[in-house]
Structure 1
Amino acid sequence: MNPAVLPWALSGAAAVSVGFARFAYALILPAMQSDLALNYAQAGWLNTANALGYLLGALATIGLVERLGNRPLFNAGIVLTTVALILTGLTHDLTLLAIYRFLAGLGAAGAFICGGVLAGVLGTRAIVVFFSGSGIGMLTTGAALPWLFELYGNLAWPWAWLAIGAVCVPLSVFSIMAGRHVAEPGAPGMHTAWRWQPCLPEFIGYFMFGLGYIAYITFIIAWLKQNPAPGLPPAAVTSIMWSALGIMTLLAPILWRRVFNGRADGFPMFASMSVLSAGAALPLFVPTITGVWLSGILVGASVFMVPAAATSFVKANLPRAAWGSGLAVVTSLFAIGQTIGPVGAGWISDRWGSLSAGLGVSAAVLLSGALIALLQRPRPQGSAAK
């Protein structure tokens, strides 16, 4: 495989594990709510089940990556995620839906964490490209799913999951093929000790990213339905916004290139989370179609740069053999926040009778996390990876 193609081929795993498995839920959620008569807390629970699977997968990766290596966990994770997405379209049972969402999250953790480590072997630019690959899923679903529901109604949501699963199959194959051409950063069975205390601001910032961003992604489409744009079909509003998210995600490596180059501190996370916070809050202050679309542009340009910032920080500050375990630890903290976020935002929205309340809290959490990450300095032993 051409070395120039490797980062983009690997990024298919990010598209599957996040762009499709996690973010497509927001587009399908309103139809599922209508057909299955779900309240906001139940809708949030399905995403929390996904987040719980992601958390368990991240915790398992901490113990397994040093024994098995990154590539086996990467391969197993992407296959499990793809199978779970297909199964989601084959049932209307809420319990089974929660199980399949859980399994999709469990597999996504291995694919996302270990894929980021493998991309790190190829360099900082490859890290940014890998995470921006999630935009493939967002662009595809944004361009197609709103019109599917416009034409066939809310009963079409199982077909949406089946179509997503079908697209994920070739992406998974290409990602696994690319992973075969990337060397492991450390030999399986090798244990490398590292201290987490000097990384605390970055880790807390990433936890708050997981807590805050997921509320926006989970409920922004439902918010659009509550606040329709006059004179435009709802499908057009949703499709343009989600497509803008995907396009800006794919452009993010170019936009953030100078911010990431040579940085071993918390500034990349601060910068990307600040832009993300502004994007999440924008529809509340500019509740017009222009505000919504600008929100999509800002969120798309920044949301996947936060995990790219965390991965770059781990690569720059930890020994090479500790990249897998280090990234698994920071991702576990993120996953805890991501688990709390949907139910918390759903509860706040149910209590206040408006999705705007949950979105406002999520924007405030993101800004707070950005300010904490700004306190991060390079680890004392030096910023160069060993």
Structure 2
Amino acid sequence: MGKKSAYSWTTLWASLLFVVILGFSRLSYGLFLPGIQREIGGSYGQLGVLGTVNFIGYLVGTLCLSPLISKFPEHKSIINRWSCLLLGLAMIGSSCSQHVVQLGLWRFAIGLFSAFATVLVLSIAMDAVRAMERGAASGLIWLGGSAGILVTGLFAPLTIDPSRLMGWRYAWALMGVFGVIAAFGFELVTLNKRSSSKIRSPSISHHGNENVYSFLLHPKKLLFLIGSYFFFGWGYIIYFTYLIPYLVSKGVPSLYAGLIWSAIGFAGLFNGWIGGRAIDRWPSGYTLAIGLALGTLGVIGVTTNSLFITAVGAILVGLVSFITPPLMTTALLRRQVSDHIYAKCLSLATGFFASGQIIGPIVGGTGVEHFGLQFGVASSAIFMAIAAVLAGLYGKLQKKRSEFDPS
């Protein structure tokens, strides 16, 4: 069976799964935080730690997935099937949490299953797409996360309004049900592909027998790209965890806060398409660095104390540096490694990304406790800027390599 276009049922269902994997399971937490605090208690610092617990689960998942794929390479689709299904069920379970510890356990499980699903859904979907369209396909898949942000923003009056204490529970339960449906849909569209993939021999490249860690962390290979991914994870999760609590603390009505959140997701829909096209046409670290630099400027908008500038900055973050870094890193990595080690390399790269997301809420929560929510949100700009610099260094390295090897 031949490779598919970027615009296929496989890509569509993968994108719907990313609505759940990214928009619902991961980033909805920041939007629901005010409602969660009102009902089950805890300070923003303590509840921020639950974000860290989620990403500890995410890191554990990425570290476990690599050896699991190596041991059972033919069972990749089975692992993905159960990961996606259990992710949806765990979200339903989290909606029933009665105290912080219980919610923390569910957040850990959600992080674990979403790590498996992130890597495997991308790997399975990208394997089905023609090589020259993988950037566009990656963009379409990752924009599912933006759609998830847009939808969760529409829940804001239900989840933020003090008169609706149970709103966040109903929203999470509905999101979990959607996740189960998306898992079944992706399973159905990928069934036909498996028979052909089993008889196709894996391609071998000069990286085949090389230690994957040394390949990813070598200064002349992928170190700067992986470093950029790490610091992006550190920076963006601070912004998405504390932006809504900051707006609520400033007295912004729940409807307006939700609209700002939805605007990030709406802008990200364009970012996914534009970013995928851009990385196909200009597959360079420089392309990634531009998006991260503009996103840094967007984050700084929160320091102006102007709701309008903060909202414009949030839209800029959504437009150029919410979906762009993951999809571009995914596409750039895909160009550098052979098919049979791509899932393993992506898993390890995602592990570094998850490590940044673990550190982010801790650092952000500390900043919030000592200096307030505004400082906590604004601190994410520091790490986004570091990510932009590292992406630029990777682009410079790519340029040097092309000069020595024009082919």
Q: TM-score if structure 1 supplies the norm length?
A: 0.90
The aligned counterpart of 1:129 is 140
Kept in 2: contact 1:246–1:300 (CA 8 A): yes
Q: Is 2:374 aligned against 1:374?
A: no
- Aligned to 2:64, which of 29, 54, 60? 60
Tell me the CA shift for residue 6 of structure 1: 2.3
Tell me the CA shift for residue 236 of structure 1: 1.7
1:214-255 CA deviation, whole Å, 9 max, x = no partner?
A: 0110010000012234xxxx1221121111112112222333
Q: Is 2:24 aligned against 1:20?
A: yes
Tell me the CA shift for residue 159 of structure 1: 2.0
Q: How does 1:191-340 map to 2 (within 5 A)?
A: 192-193=209-210, 194=212, 195-196=215-216, 197=218, 198-229=221-252, 234-285=253-304, 287-301=305-319, 302-340=321-359
The aligned counterpart of 1:96 is 102
After superposition, the Cα gap between the structure-2 partners of 1:192 and 1:272, relative to the gap in structure 1 and judged at 3 Å, is farther
Runs (5+) with no aligned partner, structure 1: none
The aligned counterpart of 1:50 is 54
**SS in structure 2 opposite 1:374?**
helix
- Residues in 2 aligned to 1:176 and 1:282: alpha-carbon distance in whole angstroms: 42
Per mean C-alpha deviation after superposition, the further-off stretch among 218-227 and 149-158 is: 149-158
Tell me the CA shift for residue 271 of structure 1: 2.1
Code of the residue aligned with 2:143 in structure 1: it is S
Tell me the CA shift for residue 361 of structure 1: 1.6
- Residues in 2 aligned to 1:156 and 1:351: alpha-carbon distance in whole angstroms: 30
The aligned counterpart of 1:159 is 170
- Residues in 1 aligned to 2:225 and 2:19: alpha-carbon distance in whole angstroms: 25
**SS in structure 1 opposite 2:78?**
helix
Amino-acid identity (%): 24
Kept in 2: contact 1:265–1:313 (CA 8 A): yes
- Residues in 2 aligned to 1:76 and 1:367: alpha-carbon distance in whole angstroms: 37
- Residues in 2 aligned to 1:36 and 1:151: alpha-carbon distance in whole angstroms: 13
Runs (5+) with no aligned partner, structure 2: none
Code of the residue aligned with 1:75 in structure 2: it is R
- Residues in 1 aligned to 2:147 and 2:266: alpha-carbon distance in whole angstroms: 8
Code of the residue aligned with 1:288 in structure 2: it is S
Kept in 1: contact 2:35–2:161 (CA 8 A): no
Code of the residue aligned with 2:293 in structure 1: it is S
After superposition, the Cα gap between the structure-2 partners of 1:346 and 1:187, relative to the gap in structure 1 and judged at 3 Å, is farther
1:44-64 CA deviation, whole Å, 9 max, x = no partner?
A: 111111100100011111112
Q: CA RMSD in A?
A: 2.6
Code of the residue aligned with 1:370 in structure 2: it is A
- Aligned to 1:79, which of 82, 85, 99? 85
Kept in 1: contact 2:139–2:273 (CA 8 A): no
Tell me the CA shift for residue 309 of structure 1: 1.1
Tell me the CA shift for residue 150 of structure 1: 2.8
After superposition, the Cα gap between the structure-2 partners of 1:138 and 1:192, relative to the gap in structure 1 and judged at 3 Å, is farther
Aligned residues: 377
Kept in 2: contact 1:84–1:104 (CA 8 A): yes
Q: TM-score if structure 2 supplies the norm length?
A: 0.86
Per mean C-alpha deviation after superposition, the further-off stretch among 68-77 and 31-40 is: 68-77
Code of the residue aligned with 1:71 in structure 2: it is S
After superposition, the Cα gap between the structure-2 partners of 1:273 and 1:77, relative to the gap in structure 1 and judged at 3 Å, is farther
